[in-house]
Amino acid sequence: MKKIASIRLFGKVRLRGWGLAAACLLSIGIVEGDGLSGMWLADTTDMSPVSDTLRGYGVLAKDSVWQQGSQETRQEVRQEADSVRALQAMERILGLPADTLAAVGEALTQDSAQAVRSSRGSDTEENTTDTLAAEGIVFAPADSSAASYVVSQVERDSLRQRDAQIKAALASLYGISMSDAESELGPQRLADTLMAADAYQAKVYDSLPQPTQPPYVKIGTPVRFTLDNGLKVLVYPDSSVPVVTFYIGISNQGVFEKDKKGVSDLTAAMLLAGVQNRTKTQITDSLANMGSRYRMTRSSFYVSGLARYATQNFNLFADVVLRPSFPLQEFFAEKQAMKDDYALADARPSEILNRVYRALAFGGKIPSGEFASPETIDRITVNDCQEYYSTYWRPNNAVLLIMGDITEAQARKLVEGRFRFWGRAEVPQDKMSSVNDLPSTAIDFIHDPSAHDSRIIISNIAEFDYNSPDVFPAMIINHLMGGDLLSNIQASLGAAPRSENTFSLSPDPLGGYMYLSARVPNLEAVRTITEKTARLQSIRRTPLDSTTLASVKQYLIGRIALSFEDREAMGSYGVAVENGTVKQDFLEDILRQINDVTAEDVMRVAQKYIKPSQFRIVIYGDARKVVPPLELAGYDVTFYDKTAQRVARPSLSQPITDSISARDVLERYFEAMGGEKKMRAVKTLRQQYDILIGDRKLQAVVLARLPFYYQQLLLFDDEVYLKTTYNGNMGYTKVENTTTALSADAVEKGRLSRSIFPLLDYEKEGFQAELDSIVPVLGHFTYRMNVTLPDGKIQNYYFSTEDYRVLRIEEVASRAVKETDENGRVTRYEPEKIASYSDYRDYKEVDGVMYPFTTEIRDESGRIIWQTTSVDPGVSIPEKVFR
């Protein structure tokens, strides 16, 4: 039996090729967790010396034992072969130093299973065959004090040598070439051959070597040429993989679509709906039969497939771009599908929240503020799509990229053969307005009484673009806050749809932003806003420690390096470079730029672009549960509907479900105020106030004496400005030197209701009280009680459901509003309800009774604040004062 190569670690434990590869790659941040499949371990009888190291790298053991010939095993081997190719691609694209690559693979022949069975028969150190890890083993996170690390040591030219070894192995064993290997051998035998071609050795170091500078990313210099019609063409020849990719992108990110929002997406769908010599089905079937990948967006089209089908793929690609037929049947089908999609989006809280946020933050200024709906889609005609196509899908507004196993001459022949006849035209440019931050923090609320939780966006404008050096510290901030700026950059450049992120500090040439989102129970909304705001403040004020910063850099460098394998992303990058959105060396220099970021850079960028005093906070949830604590926290709330239109404050009342009565609430109110007996004992009361009316400040003195004596003095600059007096028999109001007597009706009503505490009159004739509902007031839930006083005045009292103090008294009245005809003649008078209310807070005890020390009066004319400066119950007030 052929001896299986193995690597001996720490005397007893041997780590096979893929486990070692994973450990090495994980140590430099290139692969996350279980990113490589098929991580094989050796004899597990004594793993303690190495287990900490493996736990630290997150290596997962296989969850099933090897069974030769099984379909599952064959699939695993195929995945391992794919991983080999991935490592090769990383070396070619990244130019990584040799000592950072894993020792990849070794012998896995068809008699592997016998070797495994043989190894189980001996536990001695001399046994050189490997076994698999026990079924189901998963290593927990490591102790950071692990003593040793496994690091591969590979010659710089090893991958080139490996290519030669693989070709030689295929030729000697089977007499075939690389291109025919998989079809003739099948995945099992091919994988065995690939593994057998390796003979690399690994070493064990007592400490992790110091990291070197990140490699310079070798994107390569494309061949550039421009057709006479203005079409820019970039060709990236790369014969390493027999794949050719065609990508075209247009500039339409700054186009307003207004009341026909969605026309760009519908136009893109129609390009794939049929061309002049092919139907939609024929296009998609042809691409599928060749195994080609494709994707159409509102601003790009992408086709990628095997080099042997490059000409066929290109012709389909060119037909879609140049010869769309806009068939009516497909138009109506695509239009209805889009309408259905947006109708479903109307029921998704996350979609509603995001579109309202965009409309409020960017609406009317940049296209990001527009959103599509079934109504906007319904307005679009096939002529609109044809016009949009003929306006923006023009060669002088496009960039064409060709990447892969193709020569410059071949690419030029294909492009000139099909695209040189594409007619150029003037492309209009819409005018953009600058996007500005709010002057102060504001809360915008979308009320949904059926919402079970709250969805929150905290955001502000961040004016920077991809060419700013602040992009690289922003990447660090995004990772720390749980976001993903790399995906956002790719999405903004057209590579992939943007995902719903928790946090994003994103550049944008039209309007950058800081954006944080959360989903929490309704009752946790205020706490979440407070915590998120504090977290944002923290990153502005507290520098990162060196360990955290180094770890984040390591992760980002590895992740970004792997992302360069995405050809669609590279295509969008090429278009962005040609359009000037991204500078020429952005990707080439990105790893070094990230590595150079300091803790001071991170804090500087956070302070520059995270603006707590100008946050726009948009919430989707049940206002009845969320708004009261928001108002208690001091926020003013503005309400919007699902289309971002401002609406009136909704009714936040809830039905009373318990058995409490109005009399019960009154009794608990008296108890909360100090007791009914103590309240009735107050026969006289003198109160002094400071009054704030806008920028003006006045003073007031209010005197009350039972049963019905009352006087109020308003002073300005220590001079009495207004005086109101009532003594039960008469009353008057005096403004400066003008005196106006109260009417007989007003005098009579005053005798009935001039109590110091009006609710103590609940036993008087004419007094009525009825509980109405539960309503939020000043951040508290309250019982709303409709009260009719003995004088006939109607008021709504709002009692806190927690301590039963009065938080608000609402005056209800009406006035006659005249209606006129077209000639100005009065036709009738219509009653109009008017309301004013007084809010009470800052209750303090004086002589055993509670008094509110702040009263805020609101009506249609504005707001007046009465701030109590002194309360004197039981003070002597002679009757003559009220004459």
457-506 tens-digit pLDDT: 999 999 888 788 898 999 899 888 876 544 444 444 443 333 344 788 87
Pair 243, 362 in one domain: yes
Pair 455, 364 in one domain: no
Residue 576 in any domain: the answer is: yes
What is residue 138's DSSP assignment? B
Task: Write the DSSP string, 10-56.
Answer: TTTEEB-HHHHHHHHHHHTTSS-TT-SS---B---SS-HHHHHHHHH
* Tokens, residue 233: 């063409």
What is the domain-level CATH number for residue 616?
3.30.830.10
Angle at 83 between CA 82 and CA 86, to 5 degrees: 90
Instruction: Report the C-alpha gap between 247 and 37 in whole angstroms.
Output: 31
Give pLDDT tens digits for 261-278: 999 999 999 999 999 889
Angle at 830 between CA 829 and CA 834, to 5 degrees: 125
Pair 155, 238 in one domain: no
Cβ atoms of 6 and 106 closer than 8 Å = yes
* Tokens, residue 369: 């503020």
List residues bridging with 459 in a β-sheet.
515, 616
> Considering only CA atoms, which of 226, 219, 232 is closest in space to residue 575?
232
> Considering only CA atoms, which of 72, 3, 4, 87 is closest in space to residue 38?
72
> Considering only CA atoms, which of 46, 213, 83, 27 is closest in space to residue 596?
213
Express the helix, strand and coil content of the chain in percent, nearest 5 each. Answer: 40, 25, 35
Confidence band for 120, pLDDT divided at 50, 70 and 90:
very low
Pair 265, 292 in one domain: yes
Give pLDDT tens digits for 637-696: 999 999 999 999 888 777 787 789 999 999 999 999 999 999 999 999 999 999 998 888
> Considering only CA atoms, which of 86, 133, 102, 130 is closest in space to residue 22?
102
Q: Decide the pairing of beta strands 826-846 and 202-205.
A: unpaired
Cβ atoms of 609 and 514 closer than 8 Å = yes
Taking 90 as the threshold, does the pLDDT of residue 812 lie above it? no
Cβ atoms of 307 and 414 closer than 8 Å = no
Residue 768 in any domain: the answer is: yes
Taking 70 as the threshold, does the pLDDT of residue 149 lie above it? no
Q: Angle between the 546-563 and 471-480 helix axes, to the nearest 10 degrees? A: 110
Pair 190, 298 in one domain: no
> Considering only CA atoms, which of 41, 270, 282, 66 is closest in space to residue 139?
41
Residue 657 in any domain: the answer is: no
Confidence band for 216, pLDDT divided at 50, 70 and 90:
low
Residue 210 in any domain: the answer is: no
Give pLDDT tens digits for 432-450: 888 888 999 999 999 998 8
Pair 713, 804 in one domain: yes
More confident residue, 781 or 491: 781
Q: How long a stretch of residues is the chain?
A: 883
Residue 431 in any domain: the answer is: no
Show Cβ contacts of residue 304 under 8 Å, excluding neighbours closer than 6 positions.
Answer: 243, 244, 245, 246, 292, 293, 294, 313, 404, 567, 568
Q: Angle between the 263-271 and 382-392 helix axes, to the nearest 10 degrees? A: 80
Pair 446, 399 in one domain: no
Pair 393, 446 in one domain: no
Instruction: Report the C-alpha gap between 563 and 723 in whole angstroms.
Output: 78
Using DSSP's 3-state secondary structure scheme, residue 80 falls into: helix
Taking 70 as the threshold, does the pLDDT of residue 21 lie above it? no
Provide the mean pLDDT of the chain: 76
pTM: 0.58
Taking 50 as the threshold, does the pLDDT of residue 65 lie above it? no
- The whole-number average pLDDT for the span 349-354 is 93
Confidence band for 368, pLDDT divided at 50, 70 and 90:
confident
Confidence band for 175, pLDDT divided at 50, 70 and 90:
low
Q: What is the pLDDT of residue 353?
A: 95
Pair 563, 672 in one domain: no
Q: What is the pLDDT of residue 414?
A: 96
Q: What is the CA radius of gyration of the chain?
A: 38
Taking 90 as the threshold, does the pLDDT of residue 734 lie above it? no
Q: Which of 87-101, 511-525, 732-746, 761-775 has the lowest mean pLDDT?
A: 87-101
Give pLDDT tens digits for 854-880: 999 988 778 899 999 999 999 999 888
List residues bridging with 839 in a β-sheet.
808, 856
Instruction: Report the C-alpha gap between 526 and 628 in whole angstroms.
Output: 10
Instruction: Report the C-alpha gap between 583 and 249 in whole angstroms.
Output: 17
How many structural domains compose the chain? 4
What single letter denotes the amino acid at residue 19?
A: G
Alpha-helix runs per DSSP H in 139-273: 158-174, 178-196, 263-271
* Tokens, residue 105: 């693979």
Instruction: Report the C-alpha gap between 549 and 600 in whole angstroms.
Output: 11
Pair 617, 686 in one domain: no
Phi, psi of 153 (to 5 degrees): -130, 110
Q: Which of 42-56, 82-96, 638-652 has the lowest mean pLDDT?
A: 42-56
Confidence band for 145, pLDDT divided at 50, 70 and 90:
very low
* Tokens, residue 350: 């996350």
Residue 258 in any domain: the answer is: yes
Show Cβ contacts of residue 94 under 8 Å, excluding neighbours closer than 6 positions.
Answer: 215, 217, 218, 561, 564
Domain end marker among 647, 677, 703: 647
Q: Decide the pairing of beta strands 806-820 and 794-800.
A: antiparallel
Instruction: Report the C-alpha gap between 69 and 67 in whole angstroms.
Output: 6
Pair 374, 410 in one domain: yes
Domain end marker among 600, 621, 647: 647
* Tokens, residue 610: 């995270």
Instruction: Report the C-alpha gap between 518 and 242 in whole angstroms.
Output: 44
What single letter denotes the amino acid at residue 645?
A: Q
Phi, psi of 399 (to 5 degrees): -130, 130
Taking 50 as the threshold, does the pLDDT of residue 142 lie above it? no
Residue 676 in any domain: the answer is: yes
Q: Which domain holds residue 634?
A: 442-647
Q: What is the pLDDT of residue 385?
A: 97
Domain end marker among 419, 454, 488: 419
Confidence band for 390, pLDDT divided at 50, 70 and 90:
very high
Instruction: Report the C-alpha gap between 617 and 629 in whole angstroms.
Output: 15
More confident residue, 506 or 604: 604
Pair 875, 792 in one domain: yes
Instruction: Report the C-alpha gap between 776 and 781 in whole angstroms.
Output: 4
Residue 241 in any domain: the answer is: yes
Taking 60 as the threshold, does the pLDDT of residue 396 lie above it? yes
* Tokens, residue 606: 């956070």
Confidence band for 427, pLDDT divided at 50, 70 and 90:
very high
Taking 70 as the threshold, does the pLDDT of residue 179 lie above it? no
Q: What is the pLDDT of residue 94?
A: 44
Give pLDDT tens digits for 556-596: 887 776 766 666 666 677 777 777 777 777 767 788 888 89
Q: What is the pLDDT of residue 581?
A: 74
